[in-house]
Structure formats: structure tokens, C-alpha cells
Amino acid sequence: MLQEDYPILLSIQQAARKIGKSEKTIRRWIHDGKLQAENRGGGYLIKREDLTTLTKQVTKEWQEQSDLSHIKLQLVLLENQVEQLKLLVDAQQYEIEELQRQVKKLTPAKKPTPKRKTTSSRTAKRKRSDDLW
């Protein structure tokens, strides 16, 4: 990324231009200890090698953060889809129960069959003989 024809020591402004980051980002990296720099009274000077090493590390961290953010977004989308499916299942369950209630109303109730009076054979014979007299 940084070629040999660049100065060995870079100012914050030069470093920012070379790697396409803001001066504020370079200062934050120095403050956070991610980027080694020498404070020379009038400003920081950064070794070309340190900037190259950090750029590779930052690119890798950025990619990992980007991947993690993508995974988190997918997780949120999947959770949302699961919630939508739960709502659909609940709605369908309610519709099933409502249809069962309607079917129950439409189904004629079974009337209990009346019990027939059974007469014993002796009673029947007696009746017949009484009818004869």
C-alpha cells in the first residue's frame, strides 16, 4: 500500500491521505494505542512501516466487524420472520377453532332414542287371553 518512495516518517495529514482515512481517525488510533507515533512537539510523526502494519490490521478488523454486522442483521431479520410466522400460526389456530365451533352448531344434535316398553311374554299371553273372554 505504502511504497518505498514515501517518506519514512509521516505527519498525521500525510498518513491520513496515504490510507484514505481522516486525520481524526489517525489521531484516535494514536490515542487508543493502535498506531505508534512519535510526538515531536509540533505534531506526531508516524513510521511508514507502523502505518502499513496498522492498515492491514484495521482492514482485517473492519472486515470482521462488517461480517459481524451482516450476521447480526440477518439474525434480526430471521427473528422478525419467526415472529411473523408465530402470528400466522396463532391466526390459523383461531380460524380452526372458529370453524370447529361453526361445524358444531351446524351438526344436528343426536336425540336420545326413546326406550320402548318391553312386555314380558307372560303379560302378552295374559292380554291375549283376556281379550278372548
Q: pLDDT tens for residues 43-73?
A: 899 998 888 887 776 666 767 777 888 899 9
Does 131 score more than 80 pLDDT? no
Return the higher-pLDDT residue of 133 and 76: 76
Checking if the pLDDT of 13 tops 90, the result is yes
pLDDT above 80 (res 37):
yes
- Neighbouring CB atoms inside 10 A of 26's CB total 27
- Check whether 10 has a pLDDT greater than 60: yes
pTM comes to 0.42
Q: Which amino acid is at 34?
A: K
Range 9-105 classified under CATH 1.10.1660.10: yes
Query: How far is Cα 37 from Cα 84, in angstroms, rounded to an integer?
Result: 53
Pairwise CA distance, residues 47 & 2, whole Å:
11
